[in-house]
Structures are given as C-alpha cells and as structure tokens.
Chains A and B, each alone.
Chain A
C-alpha cells in the first residue's frame, strides 16, 4: 500500500476568500496534514512562500494585489533562492480551456476547478508527489513540462530526452486519470 505522509508535508494555501481557505484547510487536515500556512492575496502568498518554504502551494487565481498567475510567475524564477520547482496547484472557478492554458503557460503544475472536492484535491496531490514532471527552461518559459502524454504518432526529433532521469513512482492508480499521469513517466524509481 502506497501512502503519502501528509503529516510531514508543508502546505501554503493562498486564497482571498476566507471560506475557501477554511475548506481547503479542512480537507488537508482530513488527509492528515498539520502544517498549513494561509495567505489572503498573492503578495502575502509570495511572502509566505519565501518564509515558510512549503512543499506544495495551493493558490486561487483571482486575487487582489498579485493574482495566482502572477504569484506562480514570481515563484518560477530559475535562479531563485527559494524552491522554484515547488508544485503549484491552481484552484479556479474558471474551467475554460484558454484559462487552463494560461495557467499551464505560467508554470502551474496542476489545475483544479471549483467546486473543490476531497477526491479531486487528493488526486492532484498524488500526481505532484508520485509523478512529477521534469522542468523546461526556454527563453520565454520556465516550469513543468507542458507535455503530459507521449504521442505515439510523433515522428519528429526527440527533444525531451532529459525525462529519463525523472523520478516517478509506479503505483496502482485510484482511477484512470492518475493512471494516465503515472504511466506518462518513462523511467521509474520505486518508493522506499
């Protein structure tokens, strides 16, 4: 049985709505988390990120001062002293494809549409812990590899050979979505 030790994970929850923060905190407590920091806007979230060094960031999109996209871009600085590789899960009421693409292009790791549910949040956390993607740095982008799947029909040059070093953990998934994500990693390391 594979189990995440939530009691050791440190979360930062950034949302300008106190009720949503309470709900996310309640769900994380239910998973077993104890160390949860909160921020009510992107600027405070950035401060919290730098001071608490969370293992996972969960952020809303629409917020005053700095929104969730800007917060993500501030975190994803390749030369940052803080951890620019931290998994970022974005919560949003917007589910339009264009929004999801913008979040992806800002460097968000996982996207979660409101209304939030325990299972969906759990799946996103599993995904970032068990099957992290390599990072890509270009002139205009720094963030998780935006390709989630291997295109078997692709016949061009292979430009993502660096994925072979990634450390994904092979698991029996709890549903097909996790299966898709876990299998997308080419190389695997066992969880010890």
Chain B
C-alpha cells in the first residue's frame, strides 16, 4: 500500500442506541491554504480547467465516432444472433454511454436520440422482440447526427427526426403496460410542426 503523507487520523466516536456517529478528522484540511483575511474561494482553477478541457475538444468528433461504432457493432450482433437479453442489455449500455457523453462531446441531439433508444428498450412490451426497424432508425439517426456534425440542440431536422422516433415508440408501446407518465420525457408528438 502506498504511504500516505497525511497525519494519522484521530477518530472520535459517539455511541447511540442504534447507531454510532463517527467524526474522522478532516485530513484534507491540510491541503487547504489561505492567503489574506478573505474567506472567498479561489475560482481561477475552474477557468484553467475549462481551458484544459477546450484543448482536447478537437478530439471529440473521433471519440463520438467511436461511440457510434460501438453502438453499431452491437446492432450488428443483434442482427446476426437475434435479440438475446445480453445483447439488448449491451445495446442499452452503448446507448446509455452516448447519453452520458454526447453533451460533453458537443452532440446533444445524439444524446437525446440515444435516450429515446433506451426508453424504447425499457418500455418495450417484450424486450427480446423489439422491431428491428425501430432499433435501426435510432442507431442510424445517432450516426447521422455525428456524421453531419449537428452540434446545435435546436437543429430543425434533427429535432424532427427525434420527434418522429418518439411517435413511433409511443405507437409501439401503446399496447404495453407503460403509462403516459413513464414516457413523459419522450418528445411530445402533438407539438406543432416546425
């Protein structure tokens, strides 16, 4: 185990009937420095981190393509082997990765469409018999957003595709036990056309 350069902790414990309150010393306090009388917190590290973050932005397109590759690879396996529980879970996880990363990488619509795919899997009446066309439509739409370099969350075409996917999902799960509330985060299909 690596040697820690912090002092040995002194722990105070107070026993109660059904629990113990433990107050370990704040060992990280030794990493806080103070200059002058001000108790303001330095914010310049945020600006420096944002600058550092901007330096790697040029790599995001490649990273997003890698995410699309992973999603398409699972789709390919599903086509080949059928909709097994394990593969559908992999598809969900790949789509979920995109939800978490798309905004950071500058493709917010890809994240929304990936979220739509996750909702499709979650609310499908039978998760092993999801219409392949619906899966394809989502996977292809995510790729298209990245290929076309759609970075704006309010892109008209992208949002129209997203809305149509939502409408397709609503139609598909209409016979399932999903309630309207379960699908509340999907796009409103009655929204006025752009």
The answer to whether A191 and B34 touch (CB under 8 A), given A115-B101, A122-B46, A132-B28, is yes
Residues in chain A near residue B3, CB distance under 8 A: 53
Q: Mark B99-111, 1 if CB is under 8 A from A, else 0.
A: 1111111000000
CB of A184 within 8 Å of the partner chain? no
Give the contact-size bracket for chain B: 35 or more
Contact residues, B1-52 vs A (CB, 8 A): 1-6, 9, 12-14, 16, 18-29, 31-36, 38-43, 45-46, 48-52
CB of A171 within 8 Å of the partner chain? yes
A159 and B16 CA atoms in complex are apart in Å by 8
Interchain CB contact under 8 A, B49 and A27: yes
Residues in chain B near residue A98, CB distance under 8 A: none
Question: Which among A17, A22, A30, A159 is the interface contact of B49 at CB below 8 angstroms?
Answer: A30
A38-46, A100-108, A161-169 - the one binding chain B: A161-169
Contact residues, B69-103 vs A (CB, 8 A): 93, 96-97, 99-103
Residues in chain B near residue A66, CB distance under 8 A: none
- Closest chain-B Cβ to A1's Cβ sits at a distance in Å of 5
Residues in chain A near residue B102, CB distance under 8 A: 115
Residues in chain B near residue A160, CB distance under 8 A: 21
Question: Which among A2, A29, A62, A85 is the interface contact of B52 at CB below 8 angstroms?
Answer: A29
Interchain CB contact under 8 A, A17 and B101: yes
Interchain CB contact under 8 A, B23 and A26: no
Residues in chain A near residue B49, CB distance under 8 A: 26-31, 118, 121-122
Interchain CB contact under 8 A, B23 and A163: yes
Interface centre among B27, B31, B63 (most CB of A within 10 A): B31
Residues in chain B near residue A163, CB distance under 8 A: 21, 23
A5 and B9 CA atoms in complex are apart in Å by 20
Give the nearest-CB partner of B44 in chain A.
Answer: A3
- Closest chain-B Cβ to A174's Cβ sits at a distance in Å of 5
Question: Which among B9, B29, B36 is the interface contact of A1 at CB below 8 angstroms?
Answer: B36
Chain A to chain B contacts (Cβ below 8 Å), 22 pairs = A3-B35, A8-B31, A19-B105, A20-B100, A23-B104, A26-B53, A27-B53, A30-B45, A51-B1, A52-B2, A85-B9, A114-B103, A114-B104, A129-B29, A132-B24, A137-B19, A162-B14, A163-B23, A165-B23, A167-B23, A171-B40, A191-B34
B interface vs A, CB < 8 Å? 1-6, 9, 12-14, 16, 18-29, 31-36, 38-43, 45-46, 48-53, 55-56, 63, 66, 93, 96-97, 99-105
A interface vs B, CB < 8 Å? 1-6, 8-9, 17, 19-20, 22-23, 26-32, 50-53, 55-56, 62, 81-83, 85, 87, 92-93, 114-116, 118-119, 121-122, 126, 128-130, 132, 134-139, 145, 159-163, 165-174, 178, 189, 191-192
- Having A2-B41, A129-B26, one finds 8 other A-B pairs with CB under 8 Å, namely A3-B42, A9-B31, A27-B49, A31-B49, A139-B18, A160-B21, A171-B41, A189-B29
